[in-house]
């Protein structure tokens, strides 16, 4: 399993390096608040070589880069801890992690520590501070760890209705409901899909999962129908030509950026769509800037790196030394893969617009910490992986993987 962990780390390093470069390129032309000169000598030198105003403007391109690099160091610290620890220790603390995540999800609505933006309550932070944390990112990791630990404990009973659906389904429903009311429909769909995959891998009967999936899809569809903004995004996706200047503007400009890059791009820093045309071009839509400045070849390289990452994650899951490791690696791998798929689908116009960062590349601290900790846990699972002849298992997912490998 050393090869899988090594390739995984290399792929993530390339994605993070590319993200740092593109973050600088995409933010170097963004506006920044400049200190107004007070002294007459400063006023006379406004715009002149070496002036304070010129120095402030030169710092625009490095502001987001410096912030992201600091967040990367924090994320790397936690990732190294996760990689060096025995992942099996998480089994005992999994209920406490999930309980803490639920409390933090509720705190986003608290008047002092909760922070709202654009009509959504998704962040918490210290009063009067500018540093915010997104509890839903922690909740995704805690839910995956809890579900893997639960299925490992009751693996012989996962085919039953109560232990295989009702109990884990109730826990999943509570966490999804807290995320849903923020509101964050995208994260709700992502986590629900990951949990569904984990339950299937754990041995839950597919026939039991059909009704909850239908009810969840119906509830989401009803909420979209009652939400004019999100319904407008869906209609813009279905009829892009009729909404190119409204709800479909962002995706339209992103597609233009991807198309204008050609095979090898316009050159690093030479993109035009970042000059006020593509909103959120340093976060959710940074992939469009990659396509415009580095071209089709670079975008395919990004897609290939995510595919390689998923393959390595599946290989680590297959060789996990226990059921907990198998399910944990499966959940982490599919979480990263699904999030990348949703982001790329939105930017290319294949999916309705939904704000979701591109793993390892988009600007943002909470998601970067989550992703690097997930990679650290995958490395930890690979360290304890079995290298002998694959063990016999009654789990159909493991049997299928062993058969395919043979």
pTM of the model: 0.86
Distance CA 337, CA 310 (A): 6
Share of the chain above pLDDT 90, in %: 50
Q: Which of 237, 104, 120, 256 is nearest to 182 (CA)?
A: 120
Q: Which helix (H) or strand (E) holds 125?
A: strand 120-125
For the stretch 166-179, pLDDT in tens is: 999 999 999 999 99
Q: Which of 21, 34, 101 is nearest to 64 (CA)?
A: 21
User: Treating both helix axes as pointing N-terminal to C-terminal, what angle do 365-383 and 286-318 enclose, rounded to 10 degrees?
Assistant: 20
For the stretch 152-202, pLDDT in tens is: 999 889 989 999 999 999 999 999 999 999 888 889 999 999 999 999 999
For the stretch 307-325, pLDDT in tens is: 999 999 999 999 998 999 9
More confident residue, 140 or 121: 140
Q: Which of 42-51, 123-132, 275-284 has the lowest mean pLDDT?
A: 42-51
Angle at 223 between CA 218 and CA 229, to 5 degrees: 140
More confident residue, 41 or 251: 251
User: In this predicted structure, what is the pLDDT of residue 29?
Assistant: 66
More confident residue, 365 or 380: 380
User: Treating both helix axes as pointing N-terminal to C-terminal, what angle do 286-318 and 396-405 enclose, rounded to 10 degrees?
Assistant: 90
Region 78-102: mean pLDDT is: 95
Query: What letter would DSSP give residue 121?
Result: E
Q: Kindly indicate the confidence band of residue 398, based on its pLDDT and cuts at 50, 70 and 90.
A: low
* 115 beta partners: 123
User: In this predicted structure, what is the pLDDT of residue 59?
Assistant: 52
- Number of C-beta neighbours around residue 399 at 10 A: 13
Q: Which of 302, 309, 323 is nearest to 378 (CA)?
A: 309
User: In this predicted structure, what is the pLDDT of residue 406?
Assistant: 42
Q: Where are the alpha helices (DSSP H) in 162-248?
A: 167-180, 185-202, 206-226, 228-238
Q: Is residue 223 predicted with pLDDT exceeding 90?
A: no
Distance CA 272, CA 307 (A): 29
* 121 beta partners: 116
């Amino acid at each position: 399993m050393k090869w899988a962990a090594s390739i995984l780390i290399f792929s993530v390093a390339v994605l993070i390096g590319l993200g740092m470069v593109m973050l600088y390129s995409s933010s170097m032309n963004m506006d920044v608040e400049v200190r107004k000169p007070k002294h007459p000598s400063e006023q006379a030198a406004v715009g002149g070589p070496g002036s304070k105003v010129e120095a402030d403007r030169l710092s625009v391109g490095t502001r987001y880069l410096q912030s992201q690099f600091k967040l990367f160091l924090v994320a790397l610290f936690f990732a190294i801890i996760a990689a060096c620890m025995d992942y099996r220790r998480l089994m005992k603390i999994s209920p406490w992690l999930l309980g803490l995540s639920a409390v933090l999800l509720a705190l986003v609505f608290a008047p002092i520590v909760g922070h709202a933006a654009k009509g959504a309550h998704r962040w918490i932070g210290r009063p009067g501070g500018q540093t915010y944390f997104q509890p839903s990112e922690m909740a995704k990791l805690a839910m995956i760890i809890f579900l893997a630990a639960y299925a490992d404990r009751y693996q012989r009973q996962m085919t039953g209705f109560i232990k295989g659906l009702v109990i884990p389904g109730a826990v999943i429903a509570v966490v999804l409901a807290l995320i849903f009311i923020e509101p964050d429909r995208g994260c709700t769909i992502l986590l629900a899909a990951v949990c569904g995959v984990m339950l299937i891998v754990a041995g839950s009967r597919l026939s039991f999962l059909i009704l909850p999936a239908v009810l969840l899809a119906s509830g989401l569809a009803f909420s979209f129908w009652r939400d004019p903004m999100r319904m407008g995004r869906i209609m813009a996706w279905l009829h892009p030509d009729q909404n190119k200047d409204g709800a479909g503007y962002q995706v339209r400009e992103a597609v233009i950026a991807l198309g204008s890059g050609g095979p090898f791009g316009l050159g690093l820093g030479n993109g035009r769509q970042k000059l006020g045309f593509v909103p959120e071009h340093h976060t959710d839509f940074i992939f469009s800037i990659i396509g415009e400045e580095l071209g089709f070849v670079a975008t395919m390289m990004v897609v290939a790196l995510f595919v390689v990452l998923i393959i390595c994650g599946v290989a680590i899951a297959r060789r996990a030394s226990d059921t907990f490791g198998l399910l944990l690696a499966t959940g982490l791998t599919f979480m990263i893969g699904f999030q990348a798929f949703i982001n790329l689908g939105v930017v290319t116009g294949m999916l309705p617009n939904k704000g979701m960062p591109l793993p390892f590349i988009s600007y943002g601290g909470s998601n970067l910490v989550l992703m690097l900790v997930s990679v650290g846990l995958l490395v930890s699972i690979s360290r304890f992986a079995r290298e002998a002849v694959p063990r016999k298992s009654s789990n159909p997912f493991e049997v299928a993987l062993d058969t395919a490998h043979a």
